[in-house]
Amino acid sequence: MGAARQTQPLGVWWVGVAGLALSLLLLLGQNLRAYGVALGATLGVLALLRACLPARLTGGLSVRGRWVDVATLLVLGAAVALLATNLRQV
């Protein structure tokens, strides 16, 4: 029997968790605009990681084809950040 190949089932997925944790802290601080921008930036960073890293390192970020994942993350990140920057101050 050959040696078992070590894989990272989640890969760089933890970057998304860290970004969401930061976004949650901003939301708890009642800064909805900063929360939206941080969430959009997190999605942008995840798109960049999915585009640049090999599939064996992306783990939980690999859902569909590489460029479908990248496009989806970029569009959602840009939409969230754009909507957050257009919020009215109350």
Residue 6 in any domain: the answer is: no
Rounded to the nearest integer, the mean pLDDT of the chain is 88
- DSSP string computed for 13-26: HHHHHHHHHHHHHH
Please state whether 59 falls in left (phi above 0), alpha (psi between -120 and 50) or beta.
left
Residue 22 lies in a domain: yes
**Per-residue tokens: 14:** 């933890």
Q: What is the number of domains present in the chain?
A: 1
5 part of a folded domain: no
Q: Model confidence over 19-59: pLDDT tens digits?
A: 999 999 999 998 889 999 999 999 999 999 999 998 888 88
Whether 76 is in a domain gets the answer yes
Are the CB atoms for 38 and 85 separated by under 8 Å? no
Q: Which domain holds residue 49?
A: 14-85
Residue 69, in any domain of the structure: yes
The 10 Å Cβ neighbour count of residue 51 is 15
The predicted pLDDT at position 5 comes to 55
- Residue 1 in domain: no
